[in-house]
Chains A and B, each alone.
Chain A
Amino acid sequence: MTSAHAHRDVKDLAESYDVIVIGAGPAGLSAATTVSTFGAQTLLVDENQTPGGQIYRSILLAQAADRRRLGGDYWRGREIAEAFTRSGVHYAPATTAWSIGPQHDEQGQVIGHEVGVSANGTARLIRAKQVVLATGALERPFPIPGWTLPGVMTAGAAQIALKSSGLIPEGRVVIAGTGPLLYLLAAQLIDAGADVSAVLDTTPKENWLKALRHVPAFLVSPYVAKGLRLLRKVHRRTKVVRWVSALSAEGAGMLKEIVWIADGQEHRMTADLLLLHQGVVPNINFSNAIGCKHAWDEMQLAFRPWIDDWYETSVAGIAIAGDGAGIRGADAAALQGSLAGLGCAGRLGLIGSDDRDRHAAPLKAQLAEVTRGRNFLDTLYQPSRSFRIPQNPDTIVCRCEEVSAGKVRESVRAGAIGPNQMKVFLRSGMGPCQGRFCGLTVTELIADERNVSPEKIGYYRLRFPIKPLKLRELASLPQSDSAKIAVLADLADTHHSKSQ
């Protein structure tokens, strides 16, 4: 078996693979490594320069100082990335996957998938019998007044800057929101020497009550000791403001001041950097555009794709592992990736079902172990209504097209009863981010205005390319005779395509 080697140029990739894995976080790395050990020709496509995803970003480049700064949990990614490096998986870093469509045989039967990839201005369609999406999570939208001002970023962004470039926030830094990552980031930044002026905790009081019944499972979970240690550290080293019920960022073209309400009182603080976080949600752009079935998760307040025991979606040959299938965290993602890899190996006939199940049993046991206590966290850190469904009509909801919450509500009353009609009315979700930072907000706003469940409202129907592609790249893809006829009818033979 050859060791994984980077193909900088998509031109070097094979025409087809047994398995294409998209995403090089813990789920993708594990899926690719696992399935390739059973002899599957495997390609892993990832947008970043090096393996690790967001959670283990730059892990193979990290030095002792990074380990001290980022902690043991981060360092755990090294083993996963190194195992991948030793595997026979073909690796395409700095490569964007932008579409997945069915591949048909001459009788029109679906025999696999065709994955659109692009790097350095060259696009190609690569075939695969099985595809594993490991595209992870993204920050839940945090639509507050002023969240579009330069100087306001996601907490995850600060963590990425810390991991990939060793950037440490300085000046007056405020971290606001809710969720386990909030305190983790605060602790990491404080350890790295950042001046964190305040942590504004938006966790609603009533969540503690609701979370009580999940305490027993939580107490025996791996989160407990870690969580308490973080909380203590943050409380000792910076000002923590609890029960924040409203928040906004102010400034003329640049963040100047943060305004919040806690215990009925308005407070102000000048700030240079505001880091927002209220949990992460599955990144469903790919699975949505493919047409996989999704359901609304009432606990995590997000849509997630339907999957079976082997992480296969409602579309045969497309599996989703890791946070993209529902938020379970990095340790669970790695295990899910291995299980999805076993599932692929089984569907490819590289492994019998008995063998597959035998390999899977210990992984499933570990998965149950590492996800224990998750219900407590999900309940405690469920972001409050007012931070998900903007109350102020002027708050921007769609950052790209600059659509406000008030406009969305108005349009519901004018007949735009769902997110796709809303696109037509307001262009919300039609900018370059393709709804990633407004989709959930728009769904919940419409649901609120119509007084029905988000499940019933549904989500944007997304279109390929799910990441932008240059027109010249699209023009370079193979052109069939039937395609020329579709565009030019009986003049099709006059179309002399460039032979690049």
Chain B
Amino acid sequence: MHREPDIVVIGGGLMGACVAWGLARRNLRVCVLDEGDIALRASRANFALIWVQGKGLGFPAYAAWTKTAAADWPRFAADLESDTGIDVGLDQPGGFTLCLSDRELQASVDALEQLREQSGALAHPYEVLDHAQTKMRLPAIGPDVTGAIYCPLDGHVNSLRLFRALHAALLSRGVDYRAEHAVDTVEPRDGVFIVKGTWGEIRAPKVVLAAGLGNAGLAPMVGLDAPMKASRGQIVVTEKASRFLRYPIVTLRQTDEGGVMIGDSEEANGASLAVDHAISSVMADRAIRMFPLLADLNVVRTWSAFRVMTLDGYPIYDQSQAYPGAFIAMAHSGVTLASRHATILADAIAAGTIPEEVSAFATRRFHVSACA
């Protein structure tokens, strides 16, 4: 009873769902192939920040892409709500980086100054605050906070509701969503792509690889590549607490349901997901020094996850030269960039041509000089 789809999206995480929803809104017949209940889902483990601050040093196109993504989030959230009735809890009051030593603060300030030099008038605004100025805005901070950076463009959402809303949106737009359809191979043949798994096969004239870490294996099958590096992050989550913090801190946020999320570590580990208590300890210790009132909160979960991290850390969006119609889309910042992925990226895939704004993220940057 299923007609052949116009396009198959491989991956049902934030990237795949955003692209699929965007395509479906352009009246394309979309089929999403997703894995099952247990999978390496970066989308289930994210920190839910919409974050602009400090991003794009050495890559001006990424700084601009991120900034417009954040600016466009209210419209994205409103569109999602009108399709699904689900409020994803978007709040963009600006965000802080809290520093626990003068050197930490100086390192942040240096990076932001470089970014301003690089991007000029397009650079994002920010303020450097000392302890007293920070305390005025965040009364709960402890004496160890030496200062902060504040950027008014930052925000956060409820990432669980975002995930649910995207699924509901796929349903409402008639997307053929298939769970437990892990993809083993993609074969280009006579202008169509045959996508296969243990479940069988499906064909479509276009295919989008949005399989996160799985893209590394799938990309070469359609003449693309997805150079990645191992990146593991760990998160600590507390029980629900009364509201004490509206603003997102880059390493700490309170969800609209009350739980406090504490992140974010990074290790070059692609092998083990066993939680390292030593890392949790450092994160917990810093969180308490930032906000001493958190000390008696109960921790209810810790977890680690692999980030979808490309070799240089920036997104990859590309179309295969050898097999036009095959696209790849992957990014670490699946929440921040969601508003772009559902619109400009989906448009580009629908049109079959990658516009100027997106072309900087092609994989050729990994094959030319290292200046990208």
Contacts and interface: CB of A to CB of B under 8 A. Distances in A.
Interface of A: 99, 101-102, 114, 116, 125, 411, 414-421, 424-427, 430-432, 434, 457-458, 461, 463-465, 468-472, 474-480, 482-484, 486-489, 491, 494-495, 497-498
A498 B171 CA distance: 51
Contacts of B51: none
Contact of A464 (B179, B266, B302): B302
B165 to A, nearest CB: 10
A474 B167 contact: no
Contacts of A432: 239, 298, 300
A364 B321 CA distance: 68
Given A415-B170, A491-B103, A425 B286 contact: no
B298 A101 contact: no
B281 A474 contact: yes
Given A418-B36, A468-B239, A483 B282 contact: yes
A484 to B, nearest CB: 5
A426 B257 CA distance: 12
B296 A470 contact: yes
B348 interface: no
Contacts of A480: 278
Contacts of B238: 471
Given A432-B239, A471-B295, 6 more contacts: A114-B277, A415-B179, A430-B301, A469-B299, A474-B299, A494-B103
A468 B321 CA distance: 53
Interface string B149-178: 000000000001001100110110000010
Contacts of B177: 415
A241 B284 CA distance: 54
Nearest to B260: A471
B228 interface: no
Contact of A487 (B257, B283, B299, B301): B283
Interface string B41-58: 000100000000000000
A426 B287 CA distance: 27
26 contacts: A99-B275, A102-B274, A116-B277, A125-B277, A415-B170, A417-B37, A417-B179, A417-B180, A424-B44, A427-B257, A430-B301, A468-B298, A468-B299, A468-B300, A471-B296, A474-B277, A474-B302, A477-B280, A478-B281, A479-B281, A483-B279, A483-B281, A487-B283, A494-B103, A495-B101, A497-B282
A22 B302 CA distance: 21
B277 A99 contact: yes
Contacts of A461: 38
Contacts of A101: 274-275, 277
B279 A487 contact: yes
Most buried by B among A426, A480, A486: A486
Shortest 8 CB-CB contacts between residues of A and residues of B: A418-B37, A468-B298, A483-B278, A475-B284, A475-B285, A474-B284, A477-B281, A472-B295
A418 B37 CA distance: 5
Contacts of A475: 281, 284-285, 287-288, 295
A458 B281 contact: no
Interface string B244-278: 00000000000001000000011100000011111
Contacts of A469: 298-299
Nearest to B102: A494
B234 to A, nearest CB: 8
B138 interface: no
Interface string B312-331: 00000000000000000000
A478 B279 CA distance: 9
A417 B303 CA distance: 22
Given A471-B294, A474-B299, A457 B37 contact: yes
B100 A465 contact: no
Contacts of A425: 160, 163-164, 167
A340 B164 CA distance: 44
Contacts of B267: 482, 486
B370 interface: no
Interface in B329-358: none
A486 B265 contact: yes
B282 A486 contact: yes
A298 to B, nearest CB: 20
Contact of B275 (A426, A430, A434, A464): A464
Interface in B23-47: 34, 36-38, 44
A222 B36 CA distance: 45
B201 to A, nearest CB: 20
B170 to A, nearest CB: 7
B202 to A, nearest CB: 17
A49 B78 CA distance: 54
Given A414-B167, A418-B37, A487-B286, A477 B277 contact: yes
Contacts of B168: 414
B107 interface: yes
B309 to A, nearest CB: 14
Contact of A486 (B257, B266, B297, B300): B266
Contacts of B302: 463-465, 474
B113 interface: no
Contacts of B299: 465, 468-471, 474
Contacts of A477: 277-278, 280-281
A488 B298 CA distance: 24
Contacts of B266: 486, 489
A415 B38 contact: no
Contacts of A430: 300-301
A494 B280 contact: no
A487 B265 contact: yes
A439 B361 CA distance: 43
Contacts of B107: 491
Nearest to A420: B37
A287 to B, nearest CB: 15
A461 B275 CA distance: 14
A155 B97 CA distance: 51
A497 B285 contact: yes
B278 A482 contact: yes
B104 interface: yes
Identify the interface centre among B163, B267, B299: most chain A CB within 10 Å of its CB. B299
B179 A494 contact: no
Nearest to A484: B282
B236 interface: yes
Contact of A472 (B275, B277, B296, B301): B296
A465 B295 CA distance: 16
Given A414-B171, A415-B177, A470-B298, A478 B278 contact: yes
A425 B165 CA distance: 9
A424 B39 CA distance: 13
A97 B267 CA distance: 27
Contacts of B12: 415
A474 B280 CA distance: 7
- Which of A102, A415, A468: most chain B Cβ within 10 A? A415
A255 to B, nearest CB: 26
Contacts of B278: 477-480, 482-483
Q: Which of A431, A458, A470, A487 has the most CB of B within 10 A?
A: A487
Contact of B164 (A424, A458, A478): A424
Given A420-B44, A486-B282, A471 B297 contact: yes
Contacts of A424: 44, 160, 163-164
Contacts of A411: 164
Contacts of B296: 470-472
Nearest to B266: A486
Interface string B173-197: 0000101100000000000000000
A71 B256 CA distance: 51
